[in-house]
Amino acid sequence: MFAEASDNPEIRPRTQARRDRTRVRRACGLAPLSPSRYSERSMTRSRDPGAVLPVCDYSLCCALGSSRDAARERLLSGQGGLRAAPFALPFAAPCGVVPDSLPALPARLSAYDTRQSRLALAALEPLLPAVARSVRRWGGARVALVLGSSNAGLDTTERLYARYRQSGVAETGFSLHTQHAFAAVLSLVCELTGIAGPVHFVSTACSSSGKAFASAARLVHAGLVDAALVGGVDALCEMTVRGFRSLGVLAEQPCRPFAAARPGINIGEGAALFLLERGADAELALLGTGESADAHHMTSPDPDGAGAEQSMRAALEAACVDAAEIDLINAHGTGTVQGDAAEAAAIARVFGARVPVVSTKGYTGHALGAAGAVEAALGLITIEHGFAPESLGGSPVDPELPIAVLQARRTGAFRRVLSNSFAFGGSNVSVILGRAA
Amino acid sequence: MSAALYVKACALWSPEYSDAAAWLSGRRGAVASAPPALLLPTRARGRASLITGMLAETVGRAASDGGADLSTVPVLIGSAFGEMATTVRLLEMMGSGDGALSPARFQASVHNTAAGAISIATANRSFSSCLSAGDATCSAVLIEAWAWLAASGGELIAAVADESLPPFFASEQGFGPLAAALMLSAEPSGRVIARIAPPEFVAAPCARDAPGGDAEPFARNPAAALLPLLRAALSGQRSAVSLPGLSGSWRFELTPPEAS
């Protein structure tokens, strides 16, 4: 395994260091170094077990349900989880709100109490035994925590700011550090788990938690840690709903990704966590990730989908699989005219029209920084339980889109799922999950 | 774990110091309201928040001093709080009139606004990311940079910044704006100013001394945690620097390139 081979790179042969670097580049979604520099390129098509990161356990809390089982049952039934926004708006805005009450924080951690932290706790609770085992096995400093979020604690800040505007007096109970800041949820999770290794949020808007997988994989493959708790969390905020309205892409009806008549986005919320552990005996695994930037526009995708194509190709390279070996694509598919068209063009160039494509945002809404994690969990449900959901709202599919959008639930063996997340700033990430063996 | 990282350039901007050399020598200039941020096109520069301008300035300076190609070099950004001033402006808009938001402000409110603006301005399609970890943001950025370079074997610019907190957060300890950047390389090629040994986790928290001295307006800025490492890199002396982690701290040992 890489960590064993690289413990003392200063004394190992140069060729071994080159092999290690090539393996790590693959595992991290980077193109292999050129054959003129390294001769190992021909080796990159054979699966390297050290590059696969087993998923020991995972959890999900989203508009489909506050647990993995509840979400799976609802997904299986084909029912979406969109409902009216939980705050007053001068326009209609179906939202993907978690339907159940969320767990309360322990009294000693009440300073961290926000909807954001409760969502994180809902996703963390089912994983606590597995994380505790990992911390015992490796030591807290060898376990990383890498999460993705776009909003942090904004849902709480915006409510308190509204009161502040009326009274002119800052809220005495409000804390930037334990409620608004990204670090609040990091502190909460570390307190509850004993994780003490590298800890950070990736915050690149809607690609945040997809990129968290890539970041965590780098930490493991670089030998900095042996396990990582990875995922994403974002609570629904009025500001983001109004913000997408200001951009002219918010739907007043349920969203219809890839449909000919698609009205735009519904905003959602959720959390999902994954325990990745080097060498664990697990059926599921993170196989590879790919990242890129559009370098085009802050909010509009490159119409050619060049950045999206680049991230998908990098993920395939990292996972050492061909496009034909992907059984399902969970598209970013927010339901905007431009975004769906650009993504479809990119998918068609990489996969043709053979691989079925689903957007699950018709079930969950767009969970923003948590979307990558939520959709990775839905991808694992597909692999574990042998069904891919209908792309809700997608019929009739836009005839201009050259991809195979799933218009009915499909059952069968799904070994590998690729999940896309694209974001403001042109930030792109593709994640491939699958059977470990 | 890779054997070392190499620092090829350092950059800093605050309203009091126009660059790292001025800060290192304690040579304060007239207080500036915004950096030149020449990396950004004129229109984008005019619209940019202070934090985005500061990050563009320091990333551009680190690339220039380190000889990096801005159209290809990966850029990693860290900020504890991100686009706070823009966020508070949006909160104000939500409470005014019909609560409609400015689309320009909304798209510039995300944590990766600067990363996106830099990528677009330089037509750079390679890796970029944006992290946050409170007071541990600087160590998180260095560790992520470490892991990325262990895989890539190339170069990367790591930058950190935070702007002052708006009045709504007045109960928190205030600080002045600050941005700092490092151009890092996995290889000791070209001009190198310091070598950084692999990070070591230390269970004990490091002393949160004000790295620029308590007198500096940015002394309590989360980005100031990087300043001891900048000072060590620029000093040319062997030294060990501890940066705050969320629990415990991370120790980085720096040596001059000729001693490595």
CA distances from A407 to A337, A342, A374, A390, A392 (A): 18, 20, 21, 5, 8
Name the band, by pLDDT with cuts 50, 70 and 90, for residue B258: confident
Q: What percent of chain B has pLDDT over 90?
A: 85
What distance in Å separates the CA atoms of residue A137 and residue A143, rounded to the nearest whole number?
A: 10
Question: What are the chain A neighbours of B246 within 8 Å (beta carbons)?
Answer: 183, 186-187, 190, 196, 199
Which DSSP state fits B69? -
Is the per-residue pLDDT at A352 higher than 60? yes
Q: What is the pLDDT of residues A372-416, one digit of tens each?
A: 999 999 999 999 999 999 999 999 999 999 999 999 999 999 999
Those of residues 153-192 in B touching chain A at CB distance below 8 A are 153, 165, 168-172
Q: Which of A335, A402, A328, A324 is nearest to A365 (CA)?
A: A335
Is the per-residue pLDDT at A42 higher than 50? no
Write down the pLDDT at residue A172.
Answer: 74
Catalytic (active site) residue A206: yes
DSSP H helical ranges for chain B: 20-24, 42-47, 50-66, 84-94, 103-107, 113-122, 137-152, 227-235
Q: State the ipTM, two decimals.
A: 0.96
Inter-chain residue contact B134 with A170, CB threshold 8 Å: no
Is the per-residue pLDDT at A102 higher than 60? yes
> Is the Cα torsion angle B149, B150, B152, B153 positive or negative in sign?
positive
Read off φ and ψ for residue B179, nearest 5 degrees.
-135, 145
Q: Give the pLDDT mean for A148-154.
A: 96
To the nearest whole Å, the CA of B26 is away from the closest chain A CA by: 31
> Is the Cα torsion angle B46, B50, B52, B54 positive or negative in sign?
positive
**B31 and A CB contact within 8 Å:** no
Question: What are the chain A neighbours of B165 within 8 Å (beta carbons)?
Answer: 176
Name the band, by pLDDT with cuts 50, 70 and 90, for residue A187: very high
What distance in Å separates the CA atoms of residue A273 and residue A382, rounded to the nearest whole number?
A: 17
Q: Give the pLDDT mean for A63-78.
A: 97
Question: What are the chain B neighbours of A197 within 8 Å (beta carbons)?
Answer: 201
* Coil vs helix vs strand at B212: coil
Name the band, by pLDDT with cuts 50, 70 and 90, for residue A74: very high
**B109 and A CB contact within 8 Å:** yes
Least confidently predicted of A96-100, A177-181, A240-244, A356-360: A177-181
Catalytic choice (A206, A237, A255, A320)? A206
Least confidently predicted of A56-65, A171-180, B80-89: A171-180
| Residue A41 near residue A47 (C-beta atoms within 8 A) | no
Question: What are the chain B neighbours of A425 within 8 Å (beta carbons)?
Answer: 110, 112-113, 115-117, 119-120
Inter-chain residue contact B131 with A27, CB threshold 8 Å: no
**A7 and B CB contact within 8 Å:** yes
For residue B205, whether the previous peptide bond is cis, meaning omega lies within 30 degrees of 0, is no
**Residue that wins the pLDDT comparison between A346 and A35:** A346
Q: What is the pLDDT of residues B164-184, one digit of tens each?
A: 999 888 666 789 999 999 999
Is the per-residue pLDDT at B212 higher than 60? no
What distance in Å separates the CA atoms of residue A169 and residue A102, rounded to the nearest whole number?
A: 30
Is the per-residue pLDDT at A10 higher than 90? no
Name the band, by pLDDT with cuts 50, 70 and 90, for residue A49: low
Q: What is the pLDDT of residues B85-97, one digit of tens each?
A: 999 999 999 999 8
The label of the residue with tokens 């100013």 reads B193
Inter-chain residue contact B148 with A28, CB threshold 8 Å: yes
The label of the residue with tokens 């979307």 reads A371
Q: What is the pLDDT of residues A201-212, one digit of tens each?
A: 999 999 999 999
**B102 and A CB contact within 8 Å:** yes
CA distances from A313 to A218, A221, A329, A371, A432 (A): 18, 20, 13, 21, 11
Is the per-residue pLDDT at A233 higher than 70? yes
Calculated CA dihedral for residues B158, B163, B168, B169, nearest 10 degrees? 60
Inter-chain residue contact B136 with A162, CB threshold 8 Å: no
Write down the pLDDT at residue A17.
Answer: 40
What distance in Å separates the CA atoms of residue A405 and residue A334, rounded to the nearest whole number?
A: 14
Is the per-residue pLDDT at A7 higher than 70? no
**Residue B57 is encoded by which pair of tokens?**
């300035």
Helix orientation angle between A306-319 and A337-351, rounded to the nearest 10 degrees: 40
Q: Which of A192, A113, A191 is nearest to A153 (CA)?
A: A113
Give the count of alpha carbons within 13 A of A77, CB side only: 11
Write down the pLDDT at residue B171.
Answer: 66
The β-bridge partners of A405 are A357
What distance in Å separates the CA atoms of residue B120 and residue A233, rounded to the nearest whole number?
A: 27
Q: What is the 3-state secondary structure (H, E, C) of A80-107?
A: CCCECCCCCCCCCCCEECCCCCCCCCCH
Read off φ and ψ for residue A50, nearest 5 degrees.
-70, -20
Average pLDDT, chain B: 93
The β-bridge partners of B254 are B196, B239
**A215 and B CB contact within 8 Å:** yes
Q: What percent of chain A has pLDDT over 90?
A: 85
Write down the pLDDT at residue A29.
Answer: 47
**Residue that wins the pLDDT comparison between A369 and A168:** A369
Is the per-residue pLDDT at B99 higher than 80? yes
Name the band, by pLDDT with cuts 50, 70 and 90, for residue B208: low
Q: Give the pLDDT mean for B68-83.
A: 97
Write down the pLDDT at residue B2.
Answer: 54
Q: Give the pLDDT mean for A212-219.
A: 97
Write down the pLDDT at residue A330.
Answer: 98
Question: What are the chain B neighbours of A247 within 8 Å (beta carbons)?
Answer: 103, 106-107
Write down the pLDDT at residue B205.
Answer: 86
| Residue A115 near residue A80 (C-beta atoms within 8 A) | no
**Residue B79 is encoded by which pair of tokens?**
């900020």
Write down the pLDDT at residue A169.
Answer: 79
Q: Which of A264, A399, A403 is nearest to A346 (CA)?
A: A403
**A178 and B CB contact within 8 Å:** no
**Residue that wins the pLDDT comparison between B238 and B211:** B238
Q: What is the pLDDT of residues A124-134, one digit of tens each?
A: 999 999 999 99
Average pLDDT, chain A: 90
Question: What are the chain A neighbours of B153 within 8 Å (beta carbons)?
Answer: 21, 25, 33
Q: Give the pLDDT mean for B32-56.
A: 96
Q: What is the pLDDT of residues B189-204, one digit of tens each?
A: 899 999 999 999 999 8
**A277 and B CB contact within 8 Å:** no
The residue type of B173 is Q
Is the per-residue pLDDT at B127 higher than 60? yes
Is the per-residue pLDDT at A31 higher than 70? no
Q: What is the pLDDT of residues A324-341, one digit of tens each?
A: 999 999 999 999 999 999
Inter-chain residue contact B103 with A243, CB threshold 8 Å: yes
Mutate to test the interface with A, among B51, B59, B125 (most CBs of A within 10 A): B125
pTM: 0.93
Element (DSSP H or E) covering residue A346:
helix A337-351
Write down the pLDDT at residue A140.
Answer: 97
Write down the pLDDT at residue A48.
Answer: 55
Residues 6+ apart with CB under 8 A from A247: A299, B103, B106, B107
